[in-house]
Structure 1
Amino acid sequence: MSTPTTPSTDVAEPRRRRKPGTKPRLSRQGIIEAAFAVSERDGAQALTFQAIGAQLGAHPTAIYRYFRDKDELLLALLDAIHAEALAGAPEPTDDWAADLAELGRRTYAAFLRHPQVAQFAGARTARRENEFRKVDRVVGCMRTAGFEDADAARYYRVFSDLILAHAALDASLAALDPATRAADLRSWDVEYRTLPADLFPDLAAVADHLPRVDDPGNFELAMELMLDALRMRAAAARSRRRPDDGRKRT
């Protein structure tokens, strides 16, 4: 499967290469790629069937043969980002924590490559093939860690929500118009560092150490803390299990 950023042979032919009077050849993948191009160039608010049709050199009504509305297209875009995150991912290993970290970093990076769409990731469920594959991989890591199935399901939820929420948060920042984003980022270097200590003593004490909102280390630390907690809980689960009642994953 080609990733959203890789041109597909299914994309409608550019206008300059088509003979006069011929219609572009459309496909779901071609429409998805055009939608990413429109959103990344003009913003999420510009993602309309009319704009996508113009990108493809096709009448916007033709897109309805593949997507019944904009919401269905949005879910397909989110699933395409999951596909991009999974593309080239190594096979699962016995080191479940390292596998989770790999999936987390790949997911975060893929969503940040498409911030205009990814800003909606935290609240939406794509309910499509690649999201299913991603969920299955994460649940598999939890079961490899030795968690009972009920706990594996619960910990999958919390881990994945952390990754997607952080990706959506940082994507929302990246999707802001440049002037607004610059003003928000500058506040951590100016206003927050010059607050009066008599009013905000603890904040003033750490002012010089406050990380920027867009510091990639924020995501890494959040994931590291989550993995530390999962390791401790996995060790506790193993210690509670008698040597003779260990279960193999099926």
Structure 2
Amino acid sequence: MSKSSTGKSTNARRGRLPRGTLSQELIIEAAFRVADSTGMDKLTFQALGRELSAHPTAIYRHFRNKDELLLALLDALHEEALANTPPPTDDWAHDLMQIAIHTHDAFLRHPRVGALSAARAARRENEFRTVERKLDCMRRAGLNDTDAARYHRVFADVVLSYSAMDASLASLAPDVREADLRAWKTDYLALPADRYPNIARIAPRFVRLDDPQNFVTAVRMVIDQIRRRAEGEQAH
């Protein structure tokens, strides 16, 4: 939000939005701006009112409370991920990986929202669309309906929880994040080998906590298990 030489915001100079021009889409866009810049704890309807040059009561006409707004933000993350995910191919495993990667990317673009929303069910259109696409991959892999339901749950939880964890790391204050990252190359290497022989052996090969391949490896492990399960079913 820009400010004039008098210190007043540009929004304040423009005055209130005309009645009836506020929409859920505008509120969601503003909510991301506020959350991305100041954090979820500062995302209040009062802050949104200032960002939108609207009275906070106008926002209540679109969202009953902050929790309802959070679910809408989560669905917007799904929408962003879907918009960047390529269309389905004839390779179900490739398609699952693309869904995972672009979901992860969306969470990292809005880490302060992503860090808090992974465990929630948005119950909205874009979440429904991403579940439909993942289930399509499970069925094309050859899973029966029961296994498709189970492996979808595991796959989705791995993608969302890992995305939230990486988003949480990205949203830390820079000095705190750097200390956590550095620990795996300093603190662990300094441990005595007689007490921690396995750490002493492996620690020099530890990868960075924020290495993107960590997420890809986790997703690939789930996809490999889906493939083995489907092959086992087909063998019977």
Normalization by structure 1: what TM-score? 0.86
Distance of 1:94 and 1:187 partners within structure 2: 43
* 1:109 alignment partner AA: D
1:23 positional shift: 3.1
Q: What is residue 73 of structure 1 aligned with on the other side?
A: 69
Q: What is residue 178 of structure 1 aligned with on the other side?
A: 174
Q: What is residue 7 of structure 2 aligned with on the other side?
A: none
The percentage of counterpart residues that share the same residue type is 54
Cα distance 1:152–1:31, how it changes in 2: closer, same or farther (>3 A)? same
Contact 1:49 1:63 in 2 (8 A): yes
Deviations 1:190-245 (A, max 9, x none): 101111101111001011111121111110111111111111111111111xxxxx
Distance of 1:191 and 1:39 partners within structure 2: 33
Q: What is residue 214 of structure 1 aligned with on the other side?
A: 210
Distance of 2:17 and 2:182 partners within structure 1: 51
Distance of 1:88 and 1:185 partners within structure 2: 29
After TM superposition, the runs of 4+ consecutive aligned structure 1 residues lying more than 4 A away are: none
Q: What is residue 99 of structure 2 aligned with on the other side?
A: 103
Distance of 1:134 and 1:182 partners within structure 2: 34
Q: What is residue 47 of structure 2 aligned with on the other side?
A: 51
1:16 positional shift: 7.6
Contact 2:111 2:167 in 1 (8 A): yes
* Higher mean C-alpha deviation, range 147-156 or range 177-186: 177-186
Distance of 2:184 and 2:142 partners within structure 1: 42
Deviations 1:128-153 (A, max 9, x none): 10000000110111011111111111
RMSD (CA atoms): 1.6
Contact 2:44 2:66 in 1 (8 A): yes
Contact 1:38 1:46 in 2 (8 A): yes
Q: What is residue 127 of structure 1 aligned with on the other side?
A: 123
Cα distance 1:21–1:176, how it changes in 2: closer, same or farther (>3 A)? closer
Look up the SS of the partner of 1:87 in the other structure. Answer: helix
Structure 1 runs not aligned, ≥5 long = 1-13, 241-250
Which of 54, 57, 60 aligns to 2:56? It is 60
Cα distance 1:39–1:193, how it changes in 2: closer, same or farther (>3 A)? same
* 1:123 alignment partner AA: A
Q: Does 1:200 align with 2:196?
A: yes
Contact 2:16 2:54 in 1 (8 A): no
Distance of 1:121 and 1:192 partners within structure 2: 31
